[in-house]
Chains A and B, each alone.
Chain A
Amino acid sequence: DAGVTQSPTHLIKTRGQQVTLRCSPKSGHDTVSWYQQALGQGPQFIFQYYEEEERQRGNFPDRFSGHQFPNYSSELNVNALLLGDSALYLCASSLGSGSAFFGQGTRLTVV
Chain B
Amino acid sequence: GENVEQHPSTLSVQEGDSAVIKCTYSDSASNYFPWYKQELGKRPQLIIDIRSNVGEKKDQRIAVTLNKTAKHFSLHITETQPEDSAVYFCAASNPQGGSEKLVFGKGTKLTVNP
Contact = CB atoms under 8 A, between A and B. Distances in A.
Interface of A: 4, 31, 33, 35, 40-45, 48, 50, 55-56, 58, 90, 92, 94, 97-105
A105 B43 contact: yes
B104 to A, nearest CB: 3
Nearest to A42: B104
| Listed residue (B32, B34, B36, B100) with the most chain A CB atoms within 10 angstroms of its CB | B100
Nearest to B98: A55
Given A99-B34, A100-B34, A45 B102 contact: yes
| Listed residue (A43, A58, A94, A99) with the most chain B CB atoms within 10 angstroms of its CB | A43
A95 to B, nearest CB: 10
Given A43-B44, A102-B45, 11 more contacts: A4-B43, A33-B101, A40-B107, A42-B104, A42-B106, A43-B102, A48-B100, A55-B99, A92-B102, A97-B95, A100-B100
B54 interface: no
| Listed residue (B89, B97, B102, B107) with the most chain A CB atoms within 10 angstroms of its CB | B102
B20 to A, nearest CB: 19
B107 to A, nearest CB: 5
6 contacts: A41-B107, A44-B104, A55-B97, A55-B98, A92-B102, A99-B49
A58 B101 contact: yes
Nearest to A59: B1
Contacts of B46: 99-102
Contacts of B95: 97
B89 A42 contact: yes
B106 A41 contact: yes
